[in-house]
Amino acid sequence: MSTPTTAPEPAPGDRRSPWSRTVRRTADGSLAVGGRDVRDIAAEHGTPVYVLDESDLRARARTFVTAFRDAFADLAGADVYYASKAFASVAVLRWVHEEGMHVDVSTGGELAVALRAGVPGQALALHGNNKSDAELERALRAGVGRIVLDSLGEVDRVADLAGRLGLRAPVMVRVTTGVHAGGHDYISTAHEDQKFGLSLAGGAARAAVDAVLARPELTLLGLHSHIGSQILDLSGFEVAAAALLRLRAEVADQTGTLMPELDLGGGYGISYTGADAPPAPDRVATTLADVVRRASAELGTPPPRVSVEPGRAVAGPAGLTLYRVGTVKPVVLDGGGERRYVSVDGGMSDNIRTALYDAEYTAALANRRSTAPAVLSRVVGKHCESGDIVVRDVLLPADVAPGDLLAVPATGAYGRSMASNYNLVPRPGVLAVRDGQSRFVVRPESEEDLLALDLG
């Protein structure tokens, strides 16, 4: 059994808080977000529903942009890309671009949303370990600012396609640095035994660089690294950055080509339960700037322009999921203890991360304040799976009852983006709130949507 959490009360500006900055308790004890009472949201829009705090998300995007601009002002500058896999919608990609961010995409669908949002091609980066020819062609025709090459075979594929289109493709080489960072093994992406990137230790990364330099249809911008996700310790970024800078210097010494850019990826962690203290953007920026400054000086090479790719750290804390309680069931545990199962009207179809990664979340009674004693509870969904768990262990008031509202914070990233129609449950909509107003930026699905896809 994991250590049960009690949802911390909203604390605007506290890095440990899993709640967005505008979440408050009203005078009569309900939660409000973006100036809207969750009881009104539930009555007007139904549950479950993803609630996205627009002003909070914009502020987080702006903070990253400012932090990296300032930290790298005496170097060659820095760009901040929003990792759209965390959550992409036309509105959200428009917001982050308006706040100064670029956008990275990893599929044709994400690219289509970014282009619909008005993000110019030059501000886009295309990732992916298995890009299709159609995705590559669309990216090249859109004038994307970079294509991140993920395999040796992709070098010639992109070069040949660019040649047919009469274009010169800007590319980066994704390097597997051997740094293992982050939470679950499934979200740690720089150890050798995984699908992403080209090995630094095995020589594949250098071979890819040489292959790019041999193709006149390609422009080598630089090297790319992404070491994992939900990272709270910055030391892994420091090691990876130093390794990339050494490879950059080696290539410059041996070929005469000094790559102008370096992308250090993203994966910065957030607080899901209030127990973690994620690094602030300005600390991330100054830490990376110090590494680049120091390593460049030691290697005798001019510093590169640096880019990073936060996604979860921008969208995650800006969102919460609002559920309505259904069945409440006490269960006797081995050893004589008791856990209460609190079933809600969503579940693993709107948040798969607990089942997939053993991710930790917390939950709070949202429609009222309670003075009842806290009891060990497990928040579960309505799906036909015993692993359909939203919050594994949380202390909730003993009087939580059918009809109450529960809010699960920090679901702005990887909630809607990983949602499914398991058990043919329609996916919830994404409701943006700001200054007392609300609107769906992604509408909720209906049974009619599901049936429309079924050709019978």
Annotated catalytic residues are 384
| 3-class DSSP state of 329 | strand
Phi, then psi, of 8 in degrees rounded to 5: -65, 150
Residue with tokens 């370990």: 129
Angle at which helices 204-213 and 235-255 cross, to 10°:
50
Single-letter amino acid, residue 248: R
| 3-class DSSP state of 182 | coil
Alpha-carbon torsion, ordered 299, 300, 302, 303, to 10 deg: 30
How do strand 430-434 and strand 36-37 relate by DSSP bridges? unpaired
Alpha-carbon torsion, ordered 390, 394, 396, 398, to 10 deg: 100
Single-letter amino acid, residue 208: A
Distances (CA, A) of 137 to 128, 159, 165, 172, 200: 14, 11, 8, 17, 28
Stated length of the chain: 456
- What are the beta bridge partners of residue 406? 323, 365
Angle (CA) 432-434-436 rounded to 5° is: 115
Question: 123: closest CA among 140, 145, 143?
Answer: 145
Question: 260: closest CA among 68, 66, 64, 77?
Answer: 77
CA distance 156 to 163: 10
Q: Is the peptide bond before 48 cis (omega within 30 degrees of 0)?
A: yes
